[in-house]
Amino acid sequence: MCGIVAYLGHKPAWPILIKGLQRLEYRGYDSAGIALMHQNRLQVLKKKGKVDDLARAAQNYPTDGSQGIGHTRWATHGPPDDINAHPHTSGNQRLALVHNGIIENYALLKKALEKEGHVFQGQTDTEVLVHFIEELQHREQWPLEEAVRVALTRITGAYAIVVMDRDDPGKLVAARKASPLVIGVGNGEYFIASDATPIVEHTKRVIYLNDGEIATVSLRDNLQIRTMNNEVQTPYIHELDMEIEQLEKGGYEHFMLKEIYEQPTTVADCMRGRLNVEQGWVRLGGLDDHLARVAQARRIIIAACGTSWHAGLIGEYLIEDLARIPVEVEYASELRYRNPILNEEDVVIAISQSGETADTLAAVELARERGSLVYGIVNVVGSSIARLTHCGSYIHCGPEIGVASTKAFTGQVTLLSLMALVLAHRRGVLAESDFRRLLLELSEIPGKIAQVLEANAQIAYIAGEIKDRTNAIYLGRGYNFPVALEGALKLKEISYIHAEGYPAAEMKHGPIALIDENMPVIVIATNKSAYDKIVSNIQEVKARKGMVIAVVEQGDEVISQLADYTIEIPPTEEPFTPLLSVIPLQLLSYHIAVMRDCNVDQPRNLAKSVTVE
Ligand code: F6R
């Protein structure tokens, strides 16, 4: 969703801000803008469309100055156009502000400000906020940081903001509540951004602003952080564990393809130091201090959204199957609003790649309030969910830039596999020989993912055969049912083909009515336990002339006779099949989207981290 980048220092701000906005493009947006400060003048350039459109439009304007704020906007209040794009300025053209999030009481404030004579250009809640700060500044003669602080105490909603004042150059004021902000500390210069991606090429020293904090960075007085109650905070500087190469395509045509191909490495990274086959142990540092409580939980509730929710469903199969603890998987957005029965006997696992998803964050808050232990499975280090949960584990996949989640999904499933094994061992519900066999098998998954990737050319061919269809059905059973859901989601979001995932046996309860010669049916048919049943499901599809693309285990001779196309994956233990069977589905969606000329890395209407409800 929206992205913020700001710079204050001695270098030309424009190229830093443009590059920073390009780094933030992956979050999803529909307009972009930059405000620069130069010789006590404020210059604002903003445009509907891409950052490149903004850069082109700016060619005829001065772009001097070593202080500025930039923004990519994902429209919520008001259409995506030049006027609603950020930065927004105050009526007196003194203040410029960028904002991520939603100001819920903006309509009331707007009315009150209009009565005071304020005139608004667009429809955004953000414009109301900058006018409100202006009003307080004007009325009380407060310095910028005080006007911002008081304004924020009077608004409800979520925000990350950066503001600058034409009459107070050399200073940026930033604040956050439920929307992330990172401050990069360079040599006599500061960078502020929604995440570390625009900062890492300039400095690795960062401060993660906490909820309810306001930071003032100034070329005169350095950096000061205060709470909303005006208490001074001591900033903690973290060293970023991110390399610039991770933010580049590295020779691949798209980030999504790069990230699909990274999976042998990212899955291995997720397991590194957590599993030892020779010595027969598996361990999650984040779980150590809470292991007894989690192992004795009355039940585990997994809360997540989208692809992370699909990983959670696999987690349910894994934890119930191996560790024998009851698990429920909830859409975070439903959990938070339905007065769930949660208490201190429950453990809630929040799964999120970005660590910023608003609904998942709210579910974490709710679970904490009800006394449950909350465990986070997160990719982005230092993100809000990582910091709000009681404990947790990072999946260590590195930045995921493609909007469609791929390597984070396999990272989450790997982490849940490790967790199920840790809990199974602790509870003594798995025979030592089975435990050891599963450890060995899990350790071999990265190599097997690499083998699956070798089918890329064949999968591209199959993609060509179905690229013009308008619908698709994905079927799977057991561990592969969530994979069917994930395959369908991948196809929908990047190729805009309507697709549905079903448990294979459910097909005859309705979806079978859709099957004819125009319907591709992608069947994940690697299950050992329900093999005959899935063969019957395939026969039912073929009897109705559906086209079957089956993902099967190497050497399968029965399904390859029935299906129109088969894609083989190496054999593995059933609990780990999703880690292999999802790979062909990721590649299939990718190739179809490329063939349909879709914007693979930034699909329409989608945002990488969904920080609004
Ligand atoms: C799908 C996708 C989304 C996210 C969902 C949750 O490819 O990326 O469905 O999985 O928005 O995001 P996180 O995991 O960041 O909480």
pLDDT of 350 above 90: yes
Instruction: State the distance from the centre of ligand 1 to the C-alpha of 308, rounded, in angstroms.
Output: 6
Q: Which of 405, 410, 486, 490 to mutate to test the pocket of ligand 1 (most atoms within 8 A of CB)?
A: 405
Q: Are 485 and 501 in contact (CB under 8 A)?
A: yes
Provide the annotated active-site residues: 2, 608
The three-state secondary structure class of 15 is helix
CA distance 65 to 419: 51
User: How confident is residue 83, by pLDDT bands cut at 50, 70 and 90?
Assistant: confident
Confidence grade of residue 454 (pLDDT, cut at 50, 70, 90)? very high
**Closest ligand 1 atom to Cα of 357:** 16
Percent of the chain with pLDDT over 70: 100
- The Å distance, Cα 57 to ligand 1 centre, comes to 33
Query: Exposed/middle/buried for 604, CB within 10 Å: 0-12, 13-18, 19+?
Result: exposed
Quick check: 613 pLDDT over 80?
A: no
User: Reduced to 3 states, what is the DSSP secondary structure of residue 59?
Assistant: helix
Q: Decide whether 3-243 matches 454-602 in CATH topology.
A: no
Q: What pLDDT score does 166 carry?
A: 96
Distance CA(427)–CA(199), nearest Å, equals 44
Cβ neighbours of residue 399 closer than 8 Å, sequence gap 6 or more: 197, 242, 246, 247, 380
Q: Which of 61-65, 87-91, 342-346, 412-416 has the lowest mean pLDDT?
A: 61-65
| DSSP string of 405-455, one letter each residue | -SHHHHHHHHHHHHHHHHHHHHHT-S-HHHHHHHHHHHHTHHHHHHHHHTT
CA–CA gap between residue 400 and residue 380 (Å, rounded): 9
Higher-pLDDT residue of 235, 416: 416
| Run of H or E including 34 | strand 31-38
Residue 71: DSSP 8-state: E
For residue 473, the CA-to-ligand 1 centroid distance in Å is: 21
Is pLDDT of 610 > 80?
Answer: no
pLDDT value of residue 608: 77
Structural domain boundaries of the chain? 3-243, 249-443, 454-602
Convert the pLDDT of each residue in 134-186 to its tens digit: 999 999 999 999 999 999 999 998 899 999 999 999 999 999 998 889 999 99
Q: What is the pLDDT of residues 554-589, one digit of tens each?
A: 999 999 999 999 999 999 999 999 999 999 999 999
Q: Which of 1, 27, 194, 307 to mutate to test the pocket of ligand 1 (most atoms within 8 A of CB)?
A: 307
Closest CA to 229 of 129, 152, 343: 152
Q: Which residues line ligand 1 (CB under 6 A)?
A: 305-308, 352-354, 357, 360, 404-405, 489, 493, 609-610
What number does the ligand 1 atom closest to the CA of 412 have?
14
Atom of ligand 1 nearest to the CA of 409: 10
How many other CB atoms are found less than 10 A from the CB of residue 455?
18
Dist CA 160 CA 102 (whole Å): 9
pTM, full prediction:
0.88
Give the count of beta carbons closer than 10 Å to the beta carbon of residue 271: 22
Instruction: Write down the pLDDT at residue 547.
Output: 95
Rounded Cα–Cα distance for residues 293 and 300 (Å): 11
Is CATH 1.10.760.10 the right assignment for the domain spanning 3-243? no
Strands 3-8 and 67-73: antiparallel
> What is the per-residue pLDDT across 308-317, written as a single tens digit (0 to 9) for each?
999 999 999 9
Q: Is 51 exposed, middle or buried (0-12, 13-18, 19+ CB in 10 A)?
A: buried
Architecture of domain 249-443: 3-Layer(aba) Sandwich (3.40)
What backbone torsions phi and psi does residue 429 show, to the nearest 5 degrees? -100, 5
pLDDT of residue 530: 83
Higher pLDDT, 440 or 339: 440
Please state, as a whole number, how many other Cβ atoms lie within 10 Å of the Cβ of residue 577.
24
CA distance 94 to 97: 10
Which mutation among 195, 335, 357, 394 tests ligand 1's pocket best, with the greatest number of atoms within 8 A of CB? 357
Give the position, in ligand 1's atom list, of the atom nearest the Cα of 405: 7
Phi, psi angles (nearest 5°) of residue 265 = -75, -45
CA dihedral 71, 495, 481, 329 (to 10 degrees): 20
Closest CA to 367 of 387, 384, 345, 386: 345
pLDDT digits (tens, 9 = 90+) for 239-284: 988 888 888 888 999 999 999 999 999 999 999 999 999 999 999 9
pLDDT bucket at 331, cuts 50 / 70 / 90: very high
Q: Give the strand order in the sheet containing 213-218.
A: 88-89, 95-103, 157-165, 171-177, 213-218, 222-227, 232-233
Q: Residue 415 Cα, ligand 1 centroid: separation in angstroms?
A: 17
**CA-nearest residue, atom 3 of ligand 1:** 306
Q: Left (φ > 0), alpha (ψ -120 to 50) or beta: where does 341 sit?
A: beta
Q: Using the predicted structure, report yes or no on whether residue 29 has a pLDDT greater than 90.
A: no
Nearest to 187 by CA among 204, 173, 172: 204
Average pLDDT score over the chain: 94
Of 488, 496, 563, the closest CA to residue 525 belongs to 563
Higher-pLDDT residue of 392, 39: 392
Burial (Cβ within 10 Å: 0-12, 13-18, ≥19) of residue 581: buried
pLDDT digits over 495-527, tens only? Answer: 999 999 999 989 889 888 899 999 999 999 998
Structure tokens at 82: 């030049």
Give the Å distance between the CA of 556 and the centre of ligand 1.
33
Class of the CATH domain delimited by 454-602: alpha beta
pLDDT band at 80 (very low <50, low <70, confident <90, very high): confident
The pLDDT value recorded for residue 511 is 86
pLDDT higher than 80, residue 611: no
- Find how far residue 168's CA is from the centre of its chain: 36
What mean pLDDT is predicted for residues 453-477?
Answer: 97
> What's the CA gap between 526 and 550, in Å, rounded?
9
- Residue 385, by phi and psi: left (phi above 0), alpha (psi -120 to 50) or beta? alpha
Pairwise pLDDT comparison (485 vs 158), residue with the higher score: 485
Share of the chain above pLDDT 90, in %: 84
